[in-house]
Structure formats: structure tokens, C-alpha cells
Structure 1
Amino acid sequence: MVKKSLIALGALLVLFPTMAFAEDPSAATLNMGLNALWIMVAGVLVLLMQGGFILLETGSTRMKNAGHVAGKTIFTVGLCSLIYWAVGYGLSFGTEASEGLNKFIGIGNFLFDPSISAGDGENYPSTIFFVFQLAFAAVSLSIAWGGFAERAKLSSYFIYTILFSSVVYPVIAHWIWGGGWLAADGSQDYAGSTVVHLTGAMGALAATILLKPRIGKYNKDGSANQIAGHNQVFSALSVLLLWVGWFGFNAGSALSVGDGFFGYVAFNTQLGAAGGAVAAMLISWMFSGKADIPTTLNGALAGLVAITASCAYVEPWAAVVIGLIAGVLVYFSAKFFEKIRVDDPISAMSVHGAAGVWGTLANGIFATEELAGKVGVGKAGLLYGSGGEQLWVQFESVVVCGAYAFAASFVLLWIMKKVMGFRVTEEQEIIGLDLSEHGSYGYPEHLKKTGTSSM
């Protein structure tokens, strides 16, 4: 114990030199410093997942839209940050609402103006918690962009970012994480299978329904054409970046170093992702005769999405099962959406929607009494003696949150469509959003100007 304390103190003195001059750093101060460091690192990992989303959407779509994908991602993360600071964080975690109103929405902390350091008795500074939660909101927003891909106006990204970051995401975050009514019911969503992933997927679903399919996706007889992405290497690299970032996503949600429980969460996260990748490749191989690479990549992401809700509540064998089922589910879900003419270029509805629903429901089956008690939320699942009580709470969560995210997004996007237009013209879509919205290609060497010669 003494050895561990000395090692921790040494690390803090290196990372926070000013502490060397403190006369008597308390155990509480050391604990707060370690917590703050871990949450900050986790928040950075989650923010870096935006690089994964850039590569995922770019690799899964056509080259003529590559620069647009990259640029709008950076732009919308910036805008989301401002809106979340001004409004979204207060609606998610504000504490000034009356007891009755607080069940549905938070009030307070608008234009968030935090103290410069942690106060007495706090486990971490509020500034770091804000950065961590902001990164989650930005991820949910980037998931929604899957339904906009290759056919939405740049102005629609601008308006929907404002609305999503202030009207859609914060409400659901408050219900489950901010002390709202689903939190009171014991809804178990450790790191956001519902709050982050299902919410983003429902935004994507609303968008792709209103935008309608891309030109050339479907034939007159209803059969689908494959519109292949232009770079599978980008897509594979994106999955690796997202996979690594997910350790910040899930393990960071422990919000403390404590007894090292975040390591158990990370352990289950890896098992869930592995199960998803393996199952997706095998199922695609079995049904199509080929081990499809995009399906395998989606399987890994589906496993990660599914284990996100349950990583702190289940035993390792259950994490594997959850990942395996997610990998199978994502394959058939993608086929289903294509059949009903929902054009989803990056499979957002399958990877984040279907897998998000499954991951949330899985807690109602596999959560153990010991782990539910340790986290302090909800009860054990069906296999551990609670009957169907926790499963019902989980079902309630996905239905209510999914319905709200879809309905709110659909109404807001429908109004946008009527007022300002939503989709680019046919000509703009054909030449690509790089040229039509930005005036240059994402790969500039492919643009040959009249009167110039190539080198």
C-alpha cells in the first residue's frame, strides 16, 4: 500500500510540479489529481474518435465527397462545442430545476462558467467533466451524419448541429445520466449505447428518410445497387482509431481511478469488440460465400456499441456473447434497411441503432447483482434472479429514448426541409460535394483546370 502511494505521488509530482511545494498533500488531493488525469486522458481519447469518424465516412463514400466529409466534421465539432457550452450541458446536468421538472430536463449552468480548480470534497474538477461529456455529445452528432452522407446541403449540417446539441441529445442525456426519470427507474447505460449511439442513429434515420436515397442507389423495380466506398483501408483504419478511443469512452466513464474498476470495464470492452468482429466476418462468409471486409469492420463497431451499455455490469463470458450477437445482428440489420429502401451509406442505423438497442437490453439479461451494486444503478438481469424487472426498465429506455430522438429529429429536419431545403440539387450531387459546396476536391491532384498541364 505504501509503495503504491509513493508511486502515485511521484507520478503526480512529475505531472503537476506545483504540488512539490505543497506542505502536506492529502490523500483526497492525490485521489482527485489521479481522477482528473484519467478523465482528461479519456476525454481526449473520445475526442480523437472524430478522426475515426472522418476516415469511416470518407472511406465508405465516394472520392468526390472526401474533402467535404473531413471539413464538415471539424466544423460541426466546433459548433457543437459552442452550443453544448451555452445550452446543452445545462440541459443535461443543470441542477436548478424544481423536483418535478428535473425528472424531464435540467436547468442551470448555461454559458457554463466553472471554477478554476476542484472544490473541497470534489472527486474531479467540473471543467474536466464538461470536456468529457462534450466529447460524448460530439460523437452522437457524428453518428447522425451517416444519414446525411453524400446528399445534404452544408447549411443543413449547420442548423441541425445547433438543434441536436440543444434540443435532442441533452434531453436523453438528462433522463439517464443527469438524474432524470429513467435514472430514477434504474436504467443501466454505463457509457451510452442508448444515450449516445441510439440517439445518433435515430437522427440518421430521420435524415435519410427525409433526404431519400442517393441517385443510383435503387432501380425502378426496387432492387438495390451497391455504391461502394472508395477506400477500404481508410475504413479499416477508422475502426482501429474508434476501437482505441472506445477505451476512453467506456473505461473513462468510471470517472475515477479508485480500485482500478476502469480496467475491468476496458477488459469487457475488448472482449465485446472482438466477438463482434469475428461473428460478422463468419456470418457474411456463411451467407455470401465471401468474407466481406466492410461487414467485418461494422461487426467490430457493433460489438463496441453493444458492450458500451453493459461493460460495467456483466461478466467476461457475457461480454463475449453480447459482442457475438451484435456481430450477427449488424449483418442482417444492414440487409433489412437496404431492403426497405433506407439508404444508409455508413450503416449508422445497424451499427449504432440495432446494436445500441441490443446492448442496452442485454443488461436486463446479463447484469449481475454484484456489479449492479458496485455501479449503484439498477438491479440484476434475468439470468441472475431479478425476473424481468430490469429487462423491462431497459426496454422502456430504448423505446422512449429512441422514439424521442427520432420524432424530435424528424420534426426539426422536416421544418428545415420546408423552410430552407435540405438536399443538394441533382447536378451538385453528381459532381460531388467537394466541388459543389467547397470549390475544390479533397484530393486536389484529381482536379485539372482548363488551360493548365499536369506535372
Structure 2
Amino acid sequence: MEIEQLSRGMDTIWVVLTAAMILLMEGGFALLEAGFVRQKNAVSIIMKVFVDIAFGALVFYAIGFAFMYGKDSGGLIGLSGFFMGGDLTHLSLNISHDTYWLFQCAFVIAVISIVSGAVAERIHFRAYIIYTIIMTGLIYPISGHWIWSANGWLAKLGMIDFAGSAAIHALGGFAALAAAIFIGPRIGRFGAEGKINIVPPSNLPLASVGAFILWFGWFGFNSGSTLSATNDGIGHIAVTTMLASAAGCAASILFTMLRYRKADPPMVINGALAGLVGITAGCAFVSDAAAILIGAVSGIVMVLASEWLEKRKVDDPVGAFAVHGISGSIGTLAVGLFAMPGTATYTGLFYGGGWHLLGVQALGLVVVAVWGFALTWLALKLIQYFKPVRVSRDEELIGLDVSIHGVPAYSQDHDFLDVDQLRGSSKE
């Protein structure tokens, strides 16, 4: 009995600490996105991150967790556990339901933060709050139930997604793509006759620090998904996470040097993140060599995907789709190729496991991508009937910091602002 109590206590501490590491990633998202956008929109980024955390946690507590992990009969949606009450006895855990909720809450906050960057500098704050509620309460929990609930229909088919390349990153990435297309590009981003105008980041050192915080938090993201402090695989998960991220970063450095004759800093930052996203699904199931390959491919394809979006005049200020949507897709499919024998229910194609796992991974990826894209489009369309999704032209040109939130991100000591004018500017 004492050993069981000790094990439960250690697992609880491990899960709470790794949940805190994942929540710290919101600081990374805030700095990364604030550094990538223009100075006049830095406050708006920070405010959206606060929305992600505050509304995301409350909505997931009220309904999201129940839809994702509650009891069900058909593998489509959970129907117990609202407000963390009701029947949750089907969850076979060595930690309390509260502890498990905290860890999953950190995940749901990360999902909505992916979409935030794709619509930076032009989405209306009120519309973003409503969309956050829909994403954290319905879109993510329902598709997450299919993959991660024991009775989910994709889980029953054998889909493997250890920490969320599909459930979190592909979903968030394709939702970000839908949002970016729906809301349209920033004013002046694309000119006539296919001209592409680059919007210089306001603070690349700040964005780099954000990336480093995300890099740190990712070890909690992946290793914490064991839900056990005594799991023998924690070390391997951490190693594959490190190798894939390093490979994604190195590949983006070398590839941009060949392609642009200089290492492109924003692409290098996103290259490291692409490697992290790519390894998230298979970090517990693939070899070190496979992790390096997955990370490198993710870093290179991310650059190509960013260029592809620009040519189609889709404005994604932080590269959310290229990093999360594309790399999440690569990582999901890679499990079907590289899953080693004895690590999961099914073995990857390259280890003699046949086509079954790869086929299930592909099916799950397509389902999640379509679900994220379509539901985001429908949600924004619905919001548009009641509230403008995009800010006005004048608000966008002034910058959302002053026009929506009434305060600039940076000011000098001798600057004085008219309080009534600033606060009044946010009124409709």
C-alpha cells in the first residue's frame, strides 16, 4: 500500500510539474508572436494569450473535458464529467481526475494559441473571445475524443498520437489556415500582379526568446504525456524530442542558406518549432535516427509550405500553418512508417508492420484536418453574423494596441495620452 501511495504521489507531482511547463509555453507563444508582428500590435498578442488561458481553462472545465473524456456509447463524443462532476470512473489513471484535467487543460490552451498567430494584427478582440470558447469547448474536445479517448473511433482503429501531432498541432494548424483565409491578408501584404510585400518582424530577439521557452516547455509536452514519473520511456522521449528539434533547426539553417544565400532568422526559429511539432506524435515510438529524419524533413517542408502560402496570398504572420499544420501532418504519418516493434499496438511499415498503421494515421490526419478547417470556417461565419470578425481599416492602420486596447506597447516617459480618447476609441 505504501508503495502504491508513493507511486501515485510521484506521478501526481510529475504531471503537475509538466503541466506547468506546458502552461509556461504560453509565455513563449506571447513573446514569439509579439516579436513577429509589428510593434503597434504587440499588446493585442498578449491580450489574446490571456484570453487563451482564462477562457480556455474555464470552458474546458465546464464542458470541454466532458466532451473529450466523458463516457460515450458510439466513440463520437463524451457525455459525462461536466464541471468535473458525474461519472468519470472509466478513466483508468494513477492520478486524480483533477490532476489529469490540469494536464489536459494545458494542452487545450496550446491549441487555441496556434490559431492566434495566424490572425494576428487584424482579428477583432470580441470575435476572438467567441472563437476561443468554440474551439476549447467543442472543436478540439470532440476530435480529441476520437483519438485519445479509449472508446474514440479513431483510437479503436489503432491511431497513434502520443502527445498530439494530429490532435493538437494538425488540428490547430488547419484551423489557423481556415481563419487566415477567412479573415484575409493584412492591408498592403500583397500588391498587384502577385507582388509579395514582407512585413518585417518588430523584435526578432524577443521572438527567439519565445521560441526557446516553447522549446523548453515541449519537454513537458512530450515527456509529461507518459502521465507517470516512473515510466522507463521518459529518457527516450526527451532524447527524440531534442534530436528532432535540433534537426529541424539545422535543416532550416542549411536549406535557407542554399535557397536564399543567407540563413533566414524567422525560418530558423520556425524550423526548430517544426521539428518539435513533427516528433510529438511518435516521440515514444521511433528511434533516434528516425527522430532526426522527421525533424529535418519538417524543417525543410515548413520553409516550402511558407512560400506556398505566400504565392497564394494567404497571410499567416507567424507561420502557424506551416509549423503546426504541415509538421503535424508529417509527424502523424511518420508514426505509420517508423513505429518500432514492441512500442505500440501496431508496427510501422519500415519495420514490417504492413500498411495498416500508415493507413489509419492517414485517415485520422485527414479527418482532423477537415474537421479543424471546416468547423473553424463555420464558427467564424456564424460569429460574423453578430460581430465583425475583422477590425476596420482605420483600426488596423492605427494598430490594435491603441485602437482596440487603448494603450501602446512601448512609450517614452514624456509621452502623455488622452485617456478618454484612447478608451473611447475601443467603443463601437
| TM class, shorter-length | over 0.9
2:390 is the alignment partner of 1:423: yes
CA distance in 1, matches of 2:33, 2:417: 31
User: Secondary structure at the residue paired with 2:194?
Assistant: coil
Unpaired segments ≥5 residues, structure 2: 419-428
For 2:136, which of 122, 142, 165 is the aligned residue? 165
1:389 deviates by 1.1
Distance 1:300 1:450, change over 3 A: closer
CA distance in 1, matches of 2:82, 2:231: 34
TM-score (norm 2): 0.94
Shift of 1:446: 8.5
Q: Aligned partners of 2:256 and 2:27: how far apart in 1?
A: 27
Query: 8 Å contact 1:306–1:322 — kept in the other structure?
Result: yes
Q: What is the CA deviation profile of residues 23-78 of structure 1, one whole-angstrom value per residue up to 9, with x for unaligned ones?
A: xx611111111111111110000000000000011000000011111122113310
Alignment TM-score, normalising by the size of structure 1: 0.89
| Distance change (3 Å), C-alpha of 1:130 and 1:449 | same
Q: Confirm whether residue 86 of structure 1 aligns to residue 62 of structure 2.
A: yes
Matched position secondary structure for 1:342:
coil
**For residue 421 of structure 2, what is the aligned residue in structure 1?**
none
Deviates more, 1:278-287 or 1:378-387: 378-387
Q: Quick one: which of 29, 41, 50 aligns to 1:74?
A: 50
Q: Does 1:130 align with 2:130?
A: no
Deviation, structure 1 residue 443: 1.2
Residue 287 of structure 2 aligns with which residue?
Answer: 315
- Residue in 2 that maps onto 1:394: 361
User: Using a 3 Å threshold, how does the CA distance of structure 1 residues 442 and 123 change in structure 2: closer, same or farther?
Assistant: same
Identify unmatched segments of 5+ residues in structure 1. 1-24, 373-377
> After the TM superposition, which residues 323-402 of structure 1 pair with which residues of structure 2 at under 5 Å, given as runs?
323-372=295-344, 378-402=345-369
The alignment status of 1:154 with 2:121, answered yes or no, reads: no
1:288 corresponds to which of 242, 260, 263: 260
Q: Which moved more, 1:105-114 or 1:210-219?
A: 105-114
Residue 433 of structure 1: aligned partner? 400
* Number of aligned residues: 416
Please state how far the C-alpha of 1:139 moved relative to its aligned partner: 0.1
2:423 alignment counterpart: none
Instruction: Give the root-mean-square deviation of aligned CA atoms.
Output: 1.8
Query: Counterpart of 2:240?
Result: 268
Whole-angstrom distance in 1 between the partners of 2:189 and 2:318 = 14
Shift of 1:419: 2.7
CA distance in 2, matches of 1:141, 1:125: 25
Distance 1:447 1:242, change over 3 A: farther
Q: Does 1:407 align with 2:374?
A: yes
CA 1:26/1:54 → structure 2, altered by over 3 Å: closer, same or farther?
same
Q: What letter matches 2:361 in structure 1? A: Q
Query: 1:177 maps to what in 2?
Result: 148
For the 8 Å contact 1:45–1:248, the answer to whether it is kept is: yes
The answer to whether residue 168 in structure 2 is matched with residue 196 in structure 1 is yes
Identity of matched residues, %: 38
Q: Counterpart amino acid of 1:321?
A: L
CA distance, structure 1, for counterparts of residue 108 and residue 305 of structure 2:
25
| C-alpha contact (below 8 Å) 2:80/2:86 kept by paired residues | no
1:245-286 Cα deviation digits (max 9, x unpaired): 000000000011224311211111001101000000100000
How much does 1:147 deviate? 2.0
Give the whole-Å Cα distance in 1 for the aligned partners of 2:304 and 2:238: 28
Q: Which residue identity lines up with residue 143 of structure 1 in the other structure?
A: I
CA contact (8 A) 1:201 1:352 kept: yes
**Aligned CA distance change for structure 1 residues 340 and 194 (closer, same or farther; 3 Å):** same
Which amino acid is the alignment partner of residue 77 of structure 2?
Answer: I
Equivalent residues of 1:67, 1:443 under 8 A apart: no
User: In structure 2, what is the equivalent of residue 224 of structure 1?
Assistant: 196
Deviant stretches of 4+, over 4 Å = none
Correspondence for 1:41: 17
Query: What are the superposed Cα offsets for residues 158-184 of structure 1, whole Å, 9 maximum, x if unpaired?
Result: 100111111200011100011200000
Are the equivalent residues in 2 in contact too, given 1:114–1:127 (CA < 8 A)?
Answer: no
Larger Rg: 1
